[in-house]
Structure 1
Amino acid sequence: MKKSIFGLLILILFANKSFAQTATAAEQEVIQLSKQKWEWMADKNVDKLTPLFDDKSVFVHMGGSWGKIQEINVIKSGGIHYKKADIHEVSVNIIGNTAILLNRITLLAVVGGNEVTNPFMVTEVYIKDNNGWKLGSLSFTKLMVPGQ
Structure 2
Amino acid sequence: MKIKHLIITFFLLGTTFSFAQTSKDEQTVMQLSKDKWQWMADKDVDKLKDLFDNKAKFLHMSGTWKKDEELEIIKTGSIWYKKATIHDSAIEISGKTAIVWNRITLESIVRGNEAKVEFTVTEVYQKQNKDWKMLALSFSSVRDTHQIKK
Query: Which TM-score tier does this pair reach, normalised by the shorter chain?
Result: 0.7 to 0.9
- Count of paired positions: 126
- Report deviation, 1:144: 3.1
Q: Paired residue for 1:133? A: 132
Distance in 1 (CA, whole Å) between partners of 2:59 and 2:114 is 20
TM-score (normalised: structure 1): 0.82
Q: Which amino acid aligns with 2:143?
A: M
| Equivalence for 1:77 | 76
Q: Which SS does the other structure have where 1:135 is aligned?
A: strand
Following TM superposition, by how much is the alpha carbon of 1:145 offset from its aligned partner in structure 2, in angstroms? 4.0
5+ residue gaps, structure 2: 1-21
* Structure 2 counterpart of 1:89: 88
The percentage of aligned residue pairs carrying the same residue is 53
Query: In the TM superposition, what are the counterparts of 1:48-59 in structure 2 within 5 Å?
Result: 48-59=47-58
| TM-score, scaled to structure 2 | 0.81
1:99-131 deviation line (CA, Å, top 9, x unaligned): 000000000000010110000000000000114
**Counterpart Cα distance in 2 of 1:54 and 1:146:** 32
Q: Aligned partner of 1:46: which letter? A: V
- In structure 2, the residue matched to 1:61 is 60
Structural RMSD (CA): 1.6
Structure 1 residues 65-121: Cα deviation after superposition (integer angstroms, max 9, x where no partner): 000000000000001000000000011000110000000000000001011000000
What displacement does 1:51 show?
1.0
Cα distance between partner residues in 1 of 2:145 and 2:87: 15
1:43 maps to which residue? 42
Distance 1:86 1:145, change over 3 A: closer
Gaps (5+ residues) in structure 1? Answer: 1-22
Counterpart CA distance in 2 for 1:107 and 1:133 is 24
Partner of 2:119: 120
One-letter code aligned to 1:99: A
